[in-house]
Amino acid sequence: MARLQLIFPLLFWAIWRGTSDHADWQPVGPGIGLAIYLGGLAALVSVVFYAARLTMRRTSYDRPAAVPRFHRALFFARWMILLLHAFALWSLSYGEAVLRVADGGSHLESLPAFISIIPVLLAWTGLIWAQYPLDRAVREQNALWAVEMGEPVRLPPTLLAYVAHGVRSQVLFTLTPLVAIAFVRDGLAYGADRSGWVSPANVDLVVTVISVAVVFSLSPELLRRVLPTEPLAPSAVRDRLEVLSRRLKLGVREILLWHTHHAMGNAAVMGVLPGVRYVLISDLLLETMTPDQLEAVFAHEAGHVKHRHIPWYIFYWLLITVLIWLASSFATGWPAALRYADGETIDVVVNIVGILAGFVLFGLLSRGFERQADLFAARQLTHTATADAPARDGTQIFNSALGLVARLNNLPLDHRSLTAGRPLMGRIMCRIMHHAATWLHGSIRSRMNHLTKLANDPDEARWFDTVMLSVRWALAVALAVSLSAAIYLSRQGKQELNLNGGVQRQSIDAHRGPRVSAGFAENLGQ
What are the structural domain ranges in the chain? 1-156, 306-485
Give the pLDDT mean for 505-520: 40
- Pairing mode of beta strands 267-270, 229-231: unpaired
Alpha carbon of residue 4 to chain centroid:
4
Most confident of 63-67, 73-77, 303-307, 416-420: 303-307
pLDDT digits (tens, 9 = 90+) for 315-326: 898 898 888 888
Summarised one tens digit per residue, pLDDT across range 447-458 is 999 999 988 888
Local confidence band at 523 (pLDDT 50, 70, 90 cut-offs)? very low
* Helix, strand, coil fractions of the chain, as percent rounded to 5: 75, 5, 20
Average pLDDT over residues 424-429: 69
**Phi and psi, residue 435, nearest 5°:** -70, -35
Q: What is the pLDDT of residue 345?
A: 65
Give the single-character DSSP code of 276. G
Mark 456-468 as b/e (b = at least 16 C-beta within 10 Å). Answer: eeeeebeebbeeb
- Residue 73 has a pLDDT of 83
pLDDT band at 119 (very low <50, low <70, confident <90, very high): very high
Rounded to whole angstroms, the Cα distance separating 483 from 206 reads 11
pTM value is 0.79
pLDDT over 50 at 516, yes or no: no
CA separation for the pair 33, 378 (Å, rounded) = 56
pLDDT at 151: 67
Task: Write the pLDDT tens digit of every residue in 261-315.
Answer: 888 888 888 888 888 889 999 998 998 889 999 999 999 999 999 999 988 998 8
The answer to whether the CB of 255 falls within 8 A of the CB of 235 is: no
pLDDT tier at 103 (50, 70, 90 boundaries)?
A: low
Residue 472: its pLDDT value, please? 94
Please state, in angstroms and rounded to a whole number, the distance separating the CA atoms of residues 187 and 184: 5
Residue 305: what are its φ and ψ, rounded to 5°? -70, -50
384-406: b (≥16 Cβ within 10 Å) or e: ebeeebbbeebbbbbbbbbbbbb
Note whether 248 and 302 are within 8 A (CB). Answer: yes
Which pLDDT band, with edges at 50, 70 and 90, does 66 fall under?
A: low
**What is the arithmetic mean of pLDDT over 436-453?**
85
d(CA 347, CA 328): 5
Yes or no: say if 324 and 350 are a contact pair by the CB < 8 Å rule. Answer: yes
pLDDT at residue 473, as a whole number: 95
Judged against a pLDDT cut of 50, whether residue 243 lies above it is answered with yes
Per-residue model confidence (pLDDT) at position 167: 92
User: Chain centroid to CA 441: how far?
Assistant: 12
Q: Region 470-485: what's the mean pLDDT?
A: 92
Among the listed ranges 32-36, 99-103, 429-433, which one has the minimum average pLDDT value? Answer: 429-433
At 150 the pLDDT is 67
Closest to 231 measured CA to CA, from 253, 261, 247, 246: 253
